[in-house]
Amino acid sequence: MTELKSTISEENTLASKGYKLIKFLGEGAYAKVYLTEYSRDENKKSTLACKVIETAKAPKDFVVKFLPREIDVLIRLNHPHLIHVHSIFQRKTKYYIFMRYTENGDLLGYVLKNGCVSENQSRVWLRQLALGLQYLHELEITHRDIKSENVLLTANFNVKLSDFGFSRFCIDDDDQPILSETYCGSMSYAAPEILRGKPYLPKPTDLWSLGVVLFVMLNKSMPFDDTRMKKLYEQQMGKKYRFRSRVASVLSLECKSVVKHLLEPDPGLRYTSNQVIKSEWIAMDSRLTTLNAIEEAALNRAKEERRRLTESHKNLAKRQGDIWERTHRDSSYRILENDLKLTGSEQLTLAIRGYKIIKKINEGSYAKVYLSEYRNPKKNDRLVILACKVIDTNTAPKDFVKKFLPREIDMLIKLNHPHLVHTHSIFQRRYKYFIFLRYMENGDLLEYILQNGAVQEDQARIWTRQLSLAIQYMHELEIAHRDIKCENVLLTANKNAKLSDFGFARMCVDKKMKDVHSETFCGSLSYTAPEILHGFPYYPKPTDIWSLGIVVYVMLNRAMPFEDKHIKQLYQAQISSNWRFRSRYTDILSDNCKRLISLMLEPKYQNRIKIEQIISSEWIAMDSRLLEWTPQETLAYKKAKEERSHLQKKFESIELLKLEKETFLPEKSLVNNTLDATGSTSSWY
């Protein structure tokens, strides 16, 4: 038994609210559960379970991110097949979550003690869990940790889904779906799209986990070998599960069909909670085909709550076909609170190098951007205005710090092109990186379009050529950008376009100069190529062309070509080329312009137009001035080709050296034969 260490003050607080912790029941990663007695008067007592979370001992990520989500979800839920929360309160560093006590423990304990669950009982329990999930998903909440240990049994042997520590909302404030990136839950119950390591739609993963729970109930074993993740993933994708022979012979075909549809590796083909509830297997017991009064009332409440949520989002977002103006979007022009906290040592380091940070002007996921001044302290040159991107590695995710940040810095050091944002300097001070860049007076392209409307075709042609030359330069160096979007196209005082933000950039070849596939889902959903949404490894260069096509479309239409509310519908629209120009612009755009965008938004990457073809296209040639390269453009591309040639020669030299070593290294059999011929190895026989 684990004693709860509580102060007299905490015990008095509990007692004043009618609670008394009796004994320790169990513990999870960050919480302990206690049997609790609750009474408002001496005559009426009830038994509860109390989950105690001590934030002082829990990881910062859990306290800041997951705990608030769990509490936010718990206070919203009210369904007969979800664990009922009695009350929640906080005392100093401890959270006390009082819940209904379930007398018969969890489902895993029940199965281990009693063996396989009969098909009839499994049907009842699966329906109850599916109704709980249907309610959650209607509220746009996903559980993300469904497993047998989180299915609790009441005194009457009804099931209740519990533990919402990994739960989260599935949509944002604009009613847009949010992809999950967190690997959460137990590996044995994790869907293949989670194991793949890319952002995923969370609702279908709940149904996969429910399928594993059903299999465990019926079979008293896991469907897949989970000793190694790679093997587990391969078995999942190959549907390599089977029932024990004694179980398979007695299960109905309808039951096996539900298991099959829940353990479907393609999330788009997997059963939803509604399909489970309406399945032929559930209908085999006619009592289960209708909702009882409590179940029906809970679902109606969820639908009403969802309707109100949608209405509130509609009032906030003014779509009307245009690019929506987000009231909370950071503006390149708006002055934000200057919250950069620099130590005296950091301030001194900046001053010695001639830099002074003025005010915050923008921020992204892992970095904040500040307006800065620079004057060379040795030469007393004129004052230069810069932008300083500050990355605090203490607050950024480990994956970003170890993988993406080093890549970005490596790219910034390598790149030098008139249509890429120029890096002034980079230095590190303790856990902060300071990246000083050229300041772009006219903000980003999205801001420009929102303020000025659709871009004239002649101007769009100039900017498309500039961006294409920048991409050509990068691709010649075997670098893909992988996050091209309007927000990453910056405009100078002279209104020239420069591509920025290389946080997702990466090399396209390995040390042997062989093509490397990308597997990371990166960039913004609206600009993402169909081969990325397809979820398999992809060639990164063609995805840059697709994203550029979206940028050009947005410039000319002040709208996105595809609706991106749902990934599945977005993907279908992309591969069927289901897009068109807005009626007010289609008649004024040239055929050459329309043709080029169609070629850039070609769903098959093998047939998509190449960057060189864009630069030499008929649309670009409509302005003869754009066929001539400036000296800076010519020099940059020449240097890229030389660097590419240098890499190729370096690889060929290494390969030649290896070949020479192999040529002059005598084979063992030849050595043996020589020794045999001289008779000096008689002892070998």
Query: From the annotation, which residues make up the binding site for ATP?
Result: 51
Residue 109 makes CB contacts below 8 A (sequence gap 6+) with none
Q: From CA 604, how far away is CA 601, in angstroms rounded?
A: 9
DSSP code string of 485-531? -GGGEEE-TT--EEE---TT-EESB-TTS-B--B----S-GGG--HH
DSSP code string of 221-263? S-SS--SSHHHHHHHHHTT-----HHHHTTS-HHHHHHHHHHT
Chain center to CA of 333 = 29
Residue 265 makes CB contacts below 8 A (sequence gap 6+) with 192, 236, 237, 239
177-to-69, 170, 171, 350, 408 alpha-carbon distances in Å: 17, 6, 4, 42, 28
Q: From CA 302, how far away is CA 169, in angstroms rounded?
A: 14
In the block, which residue shows the tokens 């995923």?
Answer: 200
Contact 438, 387 (CB under 8 A): yes
Chain center to CA of 449 = 28
Q: Rounded to 5 degrees, what are φ and ψ at 145? A: -150, 45
Q: From CA 478, how far away is CA 636, in angstroms rounded?
A: 15
Using CB atoms within 10 Å of the CB of residue 247, give its burial: 0 to 12 exposed, 13 to 18 middle, 19+ buried.
middle
- Dihedral Cα 290, 293, 295, 296, nearest 10 deg: 80
Q: Rounded to 5 degrees, what are φ and ψ at 633? A: -65, -45
Q: Which of 261, 113, 297, 268 shows the shortest CA–CA distance to 201?
A: 268
Q: Which of 392, 409, 438, 420 shows the shortest CA–CA distance to 506?
A: 409
- Dihedral Cα 541, 546, 547, 551, nearest 10 deg: 140
**Which three-class secondary structure state does DSSP give residue 439?**
coil
* Known catalytic residue at 483: yes
Would you state the structure tokens that stand for residue 120, as one six-digit string? 């009839």
- Determine which helix (DSSP H) or strand (DSSP E) holds 153, and give its type and residue range: strand 151-153
> Which residue among the candidates 163, 206, 483, 564 is catalytic per the annotation?
483
Q: Which amino acid is at 38?
A: Y
98-to-143, 182, 359, 585 alpha-carbon distances in Å: 19, 27, 46, 60
**Which three-class secondary structure state does DSSP give residue 328?**
coil
Q: What are the residues facing 38 on neighbouring strands?
A: 19, 46
Catalytic residues: 483
